[in-house]
Amino acid sequence: MRIGVLTGGGDCPGLNAVIRAVAKSLMVQCGAEVIGFEEGFLGLIERRYRKLDYRDVSGILAQGGTILGTHNRANPFNYYLEGGADVSDRVLGLYKELGLDAIVVIGGDGTMSMAYRMQQMGVNIVGVPKTIDNDLMETDRTFGFDTAVAIASEAIDRLQTTGQSHGRIMIVETMGRYTGWIALHAGIAGGADVILLPEFPYDLEEVARVCREREGRQRFTIIAVAEGATAKDGEMVVRERDESSPDPLRLGGIGNLLREQLKPLVDSEIRTTILGHVQRGGTPTAFDRVLSTNFGCFAASLIAKKQFGRMVALKDNHMTSVPLIDVADKTRLVPENSFMVTSAAAVGVSFGVSPEGFEIANLGSSIPLE
């Protein structure tokens, strides 16, 4: 058995833990040879790969980043170095030339979409869900998310002491692209007073009202805002565009915009902190190390059973797998009926919208804890 492995999209805590689990499981349990492709699909396109032995994948469990490298613009169906050419046949040719039985593709929604298209061309694929944004469909959790939340939560804790000392409004901008999972979890964990998510466009006057109320009471306010959040009738704040990327929009700056919007409406000083890439770097948390190991071992078991065209998933605290077609080109949003949203609202957190609909009494007996 000869298996390839690659890491696509942005870097993420836990990538090396997955590579380790996949490779070691296949080597020990199946006697397989494992080929690592460098910089994601770019390695397949440009024939950049190397054989991984047991020592290569030892001692990397807690190491951040990825030993294989990654590239978020290496799309075989729109190759940026050749003017957007479709070079998928080149990838298929190398797959056959190397005599691979399958490729383990570790990545987010964009990577899974590419993996699904390669599967349709005849490449045996097993996907592993990776993203700090936690926005992949059909899985309760992606690895890297817990680490990002832990970093953002600690940042909020630290900013709260400054806010208290100076009587300021402290705005913390998190990553998350078009979803608010990081801001929601970190905001709750850090005791934020306002949490603004892309899923619920905010009313500026409602945010200002909360800040003014706290000026006369606690004297400070903590606002956690996801980078994709927007005001009602507003638009996402785009930092830059990269047309060669599968996802050309680079979000960022809503924290600064919100600061300027709030200035004439409140008396307090306002400071903005944009966490940026600090959320996706460094060593993974213990939870992400365990989850990554479980994902990698389960991916290896799918290969051993020749169950291809599927992505590993965590559902109801059980390991399972789902068809790639159910994940490709889809985004998992924070649902309005999420118990996390409702419980946060119940203890006084504002989402920048009317609190009606976020009441505990409106929930049924079966509550999705998301």
On the CB side of 224, CA atoms within 13 Å amount to 32
Distance CA 357, CA 230 (A): 20
What does the pLDDT read at residue 2? 97
Domain boundaries for CATH 3.40.50.460 within the chain = 149-279+335-362
Residue type, position 241, single letter: R
pLDDT top residue among 161 and 247? 161
Length of the chain: 370
Torsion of CA 164, 167, 169, 175, to 10 degrees: -30
Structurally, what CATH architecture does the domain formed by 149-279+335-362 represent? 3-Layer(aba) Sandwich (3.40)
Average pLDDT over residues 166-174: 96
pLDDT higher than threshold 50 for residue 113: yes
Q: Is the pLDDT of residue 355 over 80?
A: no
pLDDT of residue 73: 79
Residue 197's pLDDT band, with cuts at 50, 70 and 90, is: very high
- Residue 304 CB neighbour total at 10 angstroms: 14
Instruction: For domain 2-143+282-326, give the fold.
Output: Rossmann fold (3.40.50)
- Say which amino acid occupies 319: M
**pLDDT of res. 81:** 87
Q: Kindly tell me if the per-residue pLDDT of 238 is higher than 70.
A: yes
Identity of residue 248: P
Residue range 48-107, pLDDT digits in tens: 999 999 999 999 999 999 999 998 778 999 998 888 899 999 999 999 999 999 999 999
Name the catalytic one among 133, 146, 193, 288.
133
Q: Is the pLDDT of residue 15 over 90?
A: yes
133 is catalytic: yes
User: Exposed/middle/buried for 116, CB within 10 Å: 0-12, 13-18, 19+?
Assistant: buried
Compute the distance between CA of residue 148 and CA of residue 234 in angstroms, rounded to an integer. Answer: 27
Chain-wide mean pLDDT for the chain? 92
Taking only the tens place, the pLDDT of each residue in 132-141 is 999 999 999 9
- pLDDT(366) > 50: no
Compute the distance between CA of residue 230 and CA of residue 222 in angstroms, rounded to an integer: 18
pLDDT reported for residue 298: 98
pLDDT in tens, 301-350: 999 999 999 999 999 999 999 999 999 989 999 998 888 998 899 999 99
pTM for the complete prediction?
0.93
Kindly indicate the confidence band of residue 369, based on its pLDDT and cuts at 50, 70 and 90: low
Share of the chain above pLDDT 90, in %: 81
